[in-house]
Amino acid sequence: SKGSVSLILPNESFKEITVTDLAGREALRVTTKFNAPNTVNLELSNLPKGMYIISAKGNTTLRKKVVIE
């Protein structure tokens, strides 16, 4: 990814999204705002290059790895 990531979540029960680096340092935290049904756009272009883990937390937790180039 070069900066923007769209997440499609299975339902609207996810209240918070965090982006952490592989060392566990939090790079970004957002309260979910759905632009379209169940879709959240994250702007990550200001983060240093590297691999990050995006976690969507709610009733359950979803995790996705993303690489910033």
For the stretch 32-69, pLDDT in tens is: 765 556 777 888 888 999 999 999 887 788 899 999 88
Structure tokens at 35: 């632009």
At 9 the pLDDT is 76
Give the model's pLDDT for residue 51: 95
The pair of three-digit structure tokens given for residue 33, joined into one six-digit string: 């705002």
- Mean pLDDT across the stretch 5-31? 85
